[in-house]
Structure 1
Amino acid sequence: MTHRLFALPILAACALVACGGGNDDVRVDTTPEAQRPQDTRLFAAVQTGNTFAAMAGVPETDRWAGILKGAAYQVEVPKNWNGMLVMYAHGYAGTGEALTVAPPAIRRYLLSQGYAWAASSYSKNYYDVRAGVEDTNALALAFNDIARQNGRNVSAPSKVYITGVSMGGHITAAAVDEENIRSANNRIRYAGAVPMCGVLGDTELFDYFAAYQTAAQQEAGLPATSWPPANWNTIGPQVQARLFSSFPGGSTPTAAAVPTAQGQRLKAIVQNLTGGTRPLFDFAYAGALQATVWGVFGRDGKLQGILNEDVNTSRDTVFQFDANAALTSDEQAFNATIFRVQATPDANRLRRDGLRWVPKTNAQISVPMVTIHTLGDMYVPFSMEQIYKRRADKLGTSNLLVQRAIRGISHCDFTVAEQASAFDAMVKWEQTGVKPAGDEVLAPATVADPQYGCKFTDNTVGPDDSAATGRTRAALPACAAK
């Protein structure tokens, strides 16, 4: 299977405007697109000098840094380049004005294998996947010009791959989705993709936050009656106190999240919202990510100004207290009475000026994709993988999808070895046509097996891993000998 980089042709007029029945009946909608709070925010790319530090112990490289269309970038090309380029998409960088860029965790692996890599800061912060896709694409398209401007004439890349973490995983999956390839202003086709800990359910991540919050309020006896609750700052601490006897980040910052007797049923609800019965969930539910998740409660569905209208909904969420898909009378009563968050219709509609404000990950893919996700991630939960797999099954694209479960309990808590293995598997698949092994993510009995996730978990800690990763992995239940 071979996929080469090329710019897509400009779409036919009828794909961009409303077209009538005859050639002389073409009506162009000239109404200006609405402006969002995000469109008025100012950001500044942080870039000092035109290079960045070399990495010890790797082949010699050329390293270039600069600013492209308002985004900082870094590009690194081995002297003995293999002709292939890897685009790296970073995760959520907060809401500050400074735009910064850093290398991928698998930098050493990429350079040792002869790959060039490039990364953009994006031209905007906040959860702006639209900017992430456009700016990553723009940097890939500018690769040869950047090299030439820095005195190195190279051939166009023979292959361009893309990988990223968290929000960058969303960007990665969106960048290879046909809807976004067609509607992007900077158009490129990647040869393969590796989204890691990615928001593969796009806006369904924010539906999860809404469902978790309304379930917590219901279980605490302080049910929501509007969205977002106008008094969340007041009742939020009360809800938490009724459901947890200790909580990370509270008066004892090192405390685990320990449910009260009243909060036990919420734990079961959240387990089902995040991927169902699976190894390590107890560790994850007690972990520090609980504070991160609760930190987003109380917000509306406009994603801090990325959208003008609310995109959150829990209308179709089925809340369950156990692993049995059949609803008990108690579950039926809970689902009948809980407050349902309603999205504004078309809050994230298709646009005439490029990508949706929150690009979709429809699983409409035509290139190999290998994903990895930690089982205990409470912030971008494992259910994102299940949502994406259902989309792929529905579209008939599962033949291009391999998913791997990793036995970690934090967000993007991978070893470098696990990331490099996933990338290597994708490239070999793309170049040889032999599909690599992965994990089944939809069969409840498989996911619930105590050994689930062992196959692709690699606890080997290398020079580019943090000591914290090694300590966390060592404290988790070990897999049976392979």
Structure 2
Amino acid sequence: MSRLISAAATILLLLGLLAIPAAAQEPPDYVVADPTFEAREGATAYSGTLTVDGADSGYQIEVPDDWNGTLVLYAHGFVGPQQADLIVQPPPLRDLFIAQGFAWAASSYSANGYVIDSSIEETDALRTRFAELTGEDEPTATIVHGFSMGGHITGAAIERRPDAYVGALPACGVMGDLALFDYFADVNLVGGTLAGVEVPIPGDLSYLQGPAQQISAILGLQTGLRTPGGVQYADVVEHLSGGERPTFEESLRFWNVDAAIDPGEGPTIPFLQALYGRALSGGLETPVGAGDAYDNADTVYQFPNHPEGELSPVEEALNALVPRVEGDAPAPFAVIDGEPEIPVLSLHTTGDLFVPLLNQRIYAQEVADHGLSENLVQRTVRAAGHCDFTPEELVTAFGDLVTWITTGERPEGEDLLDDAVVADRDLGCAWTSETRPGMPECDPPTAITVEGADPVATSIAVSQGWEASPAAVIARADDFADGLTGASLAGGLGAPLLLNPVEALSPDVLAELRRLGVTDVTLLGGTAALSDGVEQGLADAGMTVARVAGTNRFGTAAAIATALAEAAGAPPAEVFLANGGGFADSVAVSALSAFSLQPILLVEQDRVPAETTAALEALGDPATAAVGGTDVISDQIAPDVRLAGDNRYGTSAAVVEASRGAGLRVNEPWLVDGETFVEALVAGPAAAAAGQVMAMVDGDDLAGSAGSTNDLIASLAGLVEDLVVVETADSVAQSSVDALLVSLTDG
């Protein structure tokens, strides 16, 4: 069944709303457009102009010949205040209403824009004056139903006149009222902070050309969010918009790219940036621009997969930098208090970032605070668009509401106050009638295998996750010493890390470099690691080659740290310390180091080599985080913090938790075998680019990682949509993969 408002239709609707003028406009003189319409067969149409409190609005009423006595009042959504015509919008369920004997009525409202109070009165006047306007009997019962801003009108109307209605169906509604407009400002202030771009408060048209475009470019909002700042922006937006939930990543891509807006000059900008720039209101003063009611003095910005109220160092740093505003002005419209005395069935799409799921969660909490949760049922539908419902989804909701009203039997819904319910990969599956393009299926997790027959082939398979890259990092394929800390530099360059034999450039590696469009290659280690022949082969292919090396593995790690600081444009605030005698701890932290742009320096158990000491001094004596327990880095080294477990797998689990605090996600974690260095080394930068954590397991025998990463993965049951398994020649046994998938399904 086709959708009432598809994703494509959502884009057309938004483009119509976001007609950006060259300069701010004055409100027009509103004119009621001719509301005359043709009735459906078996019904009678009534229309005209209604005056309420001295203001004119258009109306339409349709009454079926076999009217059952119930009236449905329909409240339409936002129309830009710069549009002069006041147009009545019939309800999407019009045909259902007539077929089932319900009369309906809708108002154009007397003004366009985000107008709530007068719209409540003008809509309700169609109930109180129904008999006068139609010649029919008074309704025996009235249901109120609205989309988007109409949901706000619906929620406020049933509290203003609790005895006037018997039920309500808000869909994609602004049930959090003022919180929606705080969200518009919050996401843009966070984006500006992460990008280092000043954001005006409140937003205005000047923001569209310049700051908004800079934020999008710096964070990569429209190019895959493959920067740490872009991933962290996405994390904060997810938390602000309703919390960790399935379909968010796909939906953010829709709102950043598919629904991008042309500001009139220069590149397009994501929808949320255009919205904050008052494009929605044509530059007119509206709540969209935040205004004096906006207050973020006590707002906590955090990542969704980190415990509420327990900020990581990265989150603390972000909160310290976001500009703060204190506002004490009252809300410029009627608010919803959460006191429904009648049945309310509320629908929302999981991925709507225009009017996000946050609204439903706020409403649920307010209703619960008043002890009225039995009067509220909430359902989600898996879609990215705003009000992107199929007729079947709406028909089912309306039918269940009517049954509730007539029988008193409360229908099923979802507990949107429960974080685990919202984050569960099956959120919305029960109420979604068809899978939207680009949305994940409601299926159990599967394994996505990235593999090669040998280390070189595995590195190439991982590299193919990049569509293109001007840079690449190459390390020796048969030994870990020089490449051990290279993941961080690959992350700083936004590049894949490839492996190559010592003596000559692999033709397969060269082919991959050409596919990527690489122009600059960094070799890790001296000529004993990657020979002059490798370097010459790259030069002959027209690539610029740089070599990062020291006299030993400690010196190479120090040189990599220096190169990373240059690539990042600033020295790191913290570095990782790992024991240089083995590979396990260094590669365990490869994804986190690539994401956070924190280099890995090597030490011995009880000694800091001179090369490492010099590197720390050159980097400005940053804080240090030891990776591994005291059996590999003793307390004599005196690290500031320690990420450690009982063994390499316990340490990997500790790194995963730290990764979540830095902003990496867990819905598609990367898994590698912890018994070899190859997979973790090359997977680290790729997992970081994907914004996902990486964990090590004992691929051949899960007993080795029991009680650590195995349990960690099982604890993510409900959150994980798929596992990405990186392996060389079946280094992670299929039986191990199957067991991990079962743990995600059974918890």
Tell me the TM-score range normalised by the shorter chain: 0.7 to 0.9
Counterpart of 2:116 in structure 1 is 129
Look up the match of 2:247. 280
Picking from 326, 342, 345, the partner of 2:326 is 342
8 Å contact kept, 1:279–1:451: yes
Distance in 1, matches of 2:117 and 2:133, equals 23
Residue number in structure 2 paired with 1:465: none
Cα deviation digits, residues 386-444 of structure 1 (max 9, x gap): 01111111111111110001111110000111112112211211221111100111222
Alpha-carbon shift at residue 68 of structure 1 (Å): 0.7
Deviation string for 1:22-48 (max 9, x for gaps)? xxxxxxxxxxxxxxx999852110016
Residues 1:380 and 2:355 aligned together: yes
Q: Are 2:66 and 1:86 equivalent residues in the alignment?
A: no
Distance 1:296 1:245 in 2: 15
1:111 aligns with 2:74: no
Q: Which has the higher helix share?
A: 2
| C-alpha deviation, 1:234, in angstroms | 2.8
Correspondent of 1:157 among 139, 148, 169: 139
Aligned to 1:476: 439
2:50 alignment partner in structure 1: 68
Q: Hey, what does 2:216 align to over in structure 1? A: 240
Counterparts of 1:105 and 1:181, CA distance in 2: 25
Does the 8 Å CA contact 1:101/1:119 hold for their aligned counterparts?
yes
Residue 207 of structure 1 is matched in structure 2 by 182
TM-score by length of 1: 0.77
- Once the two structures are superposed, residues 259-285 of structure 1 have per-residue CA deviations (whole angstroms, 9 ceiling, x without a partner) of 544311111111111111111111101
Give the Cα separation in 1 of the matches to 2:375 and 2:234.
34
Identify unmatched segments of 5+ residues in structure 2. Answer: 1-23, 261-269, 445-747
The structure number with the bigger radius of gyration is 2
What is the CA–CA distance in structure 2 between the aligned matches of 1:478 and 1:415, rounded to whole Å?
17
Distance 1:110 1:52 in 2: 16
Whether the 8 Å CA contact 1:210–1:313 is kept in 2: the answer is no
Aligned-partner Cα distance in 2 for 1:40–1:221: 34
Q: Distance in 1 between the 2:199 and 2:221 partners?
A: 22
Q: Is the 8 A contact 2:204 2:276 kept in 1?
A: no
Aligned equivalent of 1:406, options 381, 399, 408: 381
Question: Please, which runs of 5 or more residues in structure 1 have no aligned partner?
Answer: 1-36, 149-153, 183-187, 248-256, 349-356, 460-471
SS of match in other structure, 1:73: strand
How far off is 1:226 after superposition?
5.1
Are the equivalent residues in 1 in contact too, given 2:109–2:122 (CA < 8 A)? yes
Distance change in 2, residues 1:246/1:334 (3 Å): closer
- Comparing 261-270 with 224-233, greater Cα deviation is found at 224-233
- 4+ aligned runs moved over 6 Å, structure 1: 37-40
Relative to structure 2, which stretch is displaced further, 420-429 or 191-200?
420-429
Aligned-pair CA distance for 1:475? 4.0
What is the deviation of 1:65?
1.3
Corresponding letter in the other structure for 2:323: F
- For residue 451 of structure 1, report the CA deviation from its aligned partner: 1.3
Task: Give the one of 332, 335, 360 matched to 2:335.
Answer: 360
Whether the 8 Å contact between 2:26 and 2:284 is mirrored in structure 1 is: no
User: How far 1:212 sits from its partner (Å)?
Assistant: 0.1
* Equivalent position SS for 1:334: helix
Query: Could you tell me how far 1:289 is from its partner in structure 2?
Result: 4.2
Secondary structure of 1:131's counterpart equals helix
Give 3-state SS (helix, strand or coil) of 1:139's partner.
Answer: helix
Q: What SS does the corresponding residue of 2:293 show, helix, strand or coil?
A: coil
Equivalent position amino acid for 2:329 in 1: D
Distance verdict in 2 for CA 1:258–1:439, change over 3 Å: same
**Preserved CA contact (<8 Å) 1:71 1:122:** yes
Among 37, 61, 64, the alignment partner of 1:52 is 37
Residue identity matched to 2:116: V
Q: Which amino acid aligns with 1:181?
A: R
Quick one: structure 1 residues 309 and 239, their matched pair in 2 at CA, closer, same or farther if it must change by over 3 Å?
closer
Residues 246-305 of structure 1: CA deviation (Å, up to 9, x unaligned)? 36xxxxxxxxx64544311111111111111111111101003463322122459x9944
Count of residues in Structure 1 that have an aligned counterpart in Structure 2: 398
The offset of 1:235, in angstroms, is 2.0
| 1:198 maps onto 2:173 in alignment | yes
Q: Secondary structure at the match of 2:132?
A: helix
Overall identity of the aligned pairs, in %: 35
RMSD: 2.7
Distance 2:380 2:221 in 1: 31
Alpha-carbon distance change, 310 to 346 in structure 1, aligned in 2, over 3 angstroms: closer
The counterpart of 2:391, out of the listed 395, 416, 420, is 416
Alpha-carbon distance, 1:123 to partner: 0.6
**SS in structure 1 opposite 2:292?**
coil
Hey, what does 1:468 align to over in structure 2? none
